[in-house]
Structure 1
Amino acid sequence: MAVSREKESLARVLAHEGGYSNHPADPGGATMKGVTQRVYDGYRKGKGLAPRPVKGIQTAELNEIYDRQYWDAVQGDALPAGVDYVLFDGAVNSGPARSIMWLQQALRPAYTGPIDGVLGIGTLAALKADKNNDALIDRICNARLAFLKRLSTFATFGNGWSSRVREVRSIGQAWATGQVPQAANFVDGGQAKAFVEDATPAPSTAPADAATGAGASGLGLSGYLYDLQNQLSPLSYTSEWIGKVVVAVAVASALLAIGGLGYRWYANRQAKHLAAALGGEVPA
């Protein structure tokens, strides 16, 4: 069996995570060295132990949580050099399933199964067929960064997350190419949890539908006025006035309808990109 990089990977993850944090905008809440209070409560409960503040987590507990709930969850010992660390770090920051989804996205088109966050036979087969782990890590990190940019918390933690992903990319690619990876550094904000529940929703198409509908209604109104103009044509002054109204209504309605169609295209495109960032297919 290949030598496990778990210990070296954990050292770099812990450097990124820092110590205790409890930022009001961090969805993870109270967190100690990357372990949230919720995760720690679950771990203690599973051991038949009373809950206690995560700030007092013991080293043995910390190591066991990282080993079972993150490294083993992404099958770290079965992954290629560099890819193991990249998925491990992503799992700690956003959950194992989300990190596996980034891998599945990055493995397209070799991987043809669903983007479901399950590291099964299909995903492992596609991973084995991919011979360029350096480039694969690049794509995994791109998918991760695209996901982070879609979160409402990116305005607060974006700089820290971006720095973290940049180092994760560099460290992972160094391992993948047989080089000595750099040490990881703590950047404030990079330790904040990044969950899909905080994704910014795509723009609604309702304004576009309303604008398009109003434009169509306006064009219908201009046609009605045109008929009225023909009926009143003997009254030249009235006819001229109605003609101007017809032109104005037609132009305004056309602009409204075109604007509505344009906004609908924009909203649909944003929804497509959002779906890709959150686990769907990469948009063309």
Structure 2
Amino acid sequence: MQQPGWLKHAWPETGIREVRGSGSNPRIAALFKDAGHPQIKSDETAWCAAFVGACLARAGIDSTKSLLARSYLKWGEPIDNFRLGAIAVFSRGNDPGQGHVGFMLGESEDNIYLLGGNQSDSVSVEAIDKSRLLGLRWPAVATGNSQQQSDAKVFDRALNHVLEMEGGWTEDPYDPGGPTNQGITLAVYAAWKGITLDGTNTGALKDELRRIAGETVREIYLRRYWLPAGCADLDPGLALMHFDAAVNHGVGTAARTLQEASGATVDGEIGPETRAAIDRASATDLLSRYADIRRARYRALPHFWRFGRGWLRRADLTLERALAIADPHSRSLSNTTKGYETMQNDTAGQPAPKWWGQSMTIWGAVVTALATVVPVVGPVVGVDITGEAIRQAGGQAVQVFQAVGGLVGTALTIWGRIRATHPLERRDMNIRI
């Protein structure tokens, strides 16, 4: 049975719980915010309706925007039978104003299994007696907010691009991010779960990260990058570029890059001045400048020699796709080809080819080959290193020659491959005699 969209947003919240004492869980505060109550920061406020409202909003569905559980008795359409993800409303005590609400997962003869917030002070699944059920509801056809649904499509398109750029599991020793899956580093995953990395849990968390669910990946990107970077407030083309930069460079760096590209004061805060500068800019010019700044940043990084080609391809492809979806009605596209020309003519972003004779990798292979074949074919071409030379240097001269030559050649090949940054090209050799 296919689960509805709001359940895909509900599952990643499973396990979050209230903070004991005077503190509050920021994940619960985020539920209040997305449910339409950003002023509430405390997890001491009853939050079962906030959990339902936030999950619906994240799926592009209008909620009641109320923190009263019973408000959902007048929401959507009533249904009589079990439906996965149905909103179930229950009584709580004898007070007609009190209640509880969550998402229905299943039922038995006596109970309904509910995924809900504020259940034992956490998001969890609990069995609730059917005698308390007040009603089951399902979104009406007209309940969906078209703007929210459009925003969700913009985010999903940007997310698909980022996931394509990031790839799957990597654990490159040169990558300062460390173990990473689908662009989510181990440190980010641990922070998302509220866990401090140490020697006792690293292995288990790496195993979890390898198997991370798609719903969790989407939620992390939405909550950690898309919303904090303000991508939802940008036109789709710019949102794609800005989101990709926020993921790859960090939210703060992306904000400063956007400000620099738009000509606003660079302070890392996207406020009225920055938005006005964005509105004044040509979409094509703004996106092209944004990509240029990203390329320059990549080239300044210490690991550019290893990852530079991939980074520059990422900037180019992001620019190409952002230009293709830029909204022509909100910007002046006075030069619709400028962005593509900038990308295609950005020869500084592509390492210049060099002659193969300058390649340490090639010479390493040559030395290895010579060490192997010269003792065998030498006499054929008049180079006798197996006769008198052996008697003078000792019976193991050939073996020593081969071993040393092979070792040196292999070392040159490996080192040349590690340091390689330039493609090779064939050049005609003009030899003057």
Structure 2-normalised TM-score? 0.38
* RMSD (CA atoms): 2.0
8 Å contact from structure 1 (residues 83, 176) kept in 2: yes
Distance in 1 of aligned mates of 2:273 and 2:321? 26
User: Deviations 1:107-127 (Å, cap 9, x if unpaired)?
Assistant: 11xx2x2x2322222211211
Q: Map 1:1-284 onto structure 2 (within 5 A).
A: 1=147, 3-4=150-151, 5-45=154-194, 52-53=205-206, 54-108=209-263, 111=264, 113=265, 115-130=266-281, 132-176=282-326
- Residue 400 (structure 2) aligns with: none
Q: Distance in 2 between matches of 1:117 and 1:174?
A: 27
Deviations 1:52-72 (A, max 9, x none): 222222222111110011111
**Equivalent-residue separation in structure 1 for 2:279 and 2:212 (angstroms):** 37
Q: Is the 8 A contact 1:80 1:133 kept in 2?
A: no
CA distance in 1, matches of 2:304, 2:189: 25
Partners of 1:65 and 1:34 lie apart in 2 by 11
Amino acid of the structure 2 residue aligned with 1:11: N
Deviation of 1:144 (Å): 0.7
**Letter aligned with residue 286 of structure 2:** L
CA distance in 1, matches of 2:165, 2:262: 26
After superposition, the C-alpha distances for 1:112-146 in whole angstroms (9 at most, x for unaligned) are x2x2322222211211222x111100000001111
8 A Cα contact 1:134 1:177, kept in partner: no
Unaligned runs of at least 5 residues, structure 2:
1-146, 196-200, 329-335, 337-433
Equivalent pair of 1:103/1:140 in contact (CA under 8 Å): yes
Specify every segment of 5 or more residues in structure 1 that has no aligned partner in the other structure, as ranges.
Answer: 180-284
Letter in 2 for 1:16: M
Give the aligned residue type for 2:239: D
SS in 2 for 1:73: coil
Aligned residue pairs, count: 172
Deviations 1:182-239 (A, max 9, x none): xxxxxxxxxxxxxxxxxxxxxxxxxxxxxxxxxxxxxxxxxxxxxxxxxxxxxxxxxx
Letter paired with 2:253: R
1:91–1:97: 8 Å Cα contact kept in structure 2? yes
Structure with the higher strand share, 1 or 2: 2
Residue type matched to 2:173 in 1?
A: P
Structure 1 counterpart of 2:165, one-letter code? H
Provide the C-alpha distance between the structure 1 equivalents of 2:317 and 2:279, rounded to a whole number of angstroms.
25
Shift of 1:13: 0.7
Alpha-carbon distance between aligned partners in 2 of 1:72 and 1:78, rounded to the nearest angstrom: 9
Distance 2:218 2:191 in 1: 15
1:22–1:30 CA contact under 8 A, matched in 2: yes
Cα contact 1:86–1:168 (8 A) shared by 2:
yes
For residues 75-103 of structure 1, what are the alpha-carbon distances to aligned partners after superposition, in whole Å with 9 as ceiling and x for unaligned?
Answer: 11110121000000011111111111111
Q: Which amino acid aligns with 1:151?
A: L
How far is the alpha carbon of 1:177 from its aligned partner? 5.2
- The structure number with the bigger radius of gyration is 2
- In structure 2, what is the Cα distance between the partners aligned to 1:29 and 1:161? 17
| Alignment match, 1:197 | none
Q: TM-score, normalised by structure 1?
A: 0.57
Q: Is the 8 A contact 2:169 2:180 kept in 1?
A: yes
Amino acid at match of 1:12: H
2:67 corresponds in structure 1 to: none
Letter in 2 for 1:128: D
Assess if the C-alpha contact under 8 Å between 1:134 and 1:173 holds in 2: yes
Q: Partner of 1:185 in structure 2?
A: none
Contact 2:162 2:244 in 1 (8 A): yes
State the structure with bigger RCO (CA 8 A, min sep 6), 1 or 2.
Answer: 1
2:42 aligns with none
TM superposition shift of 1:157 = 0.4
Task: Report the identity percentage.
Answer: 31
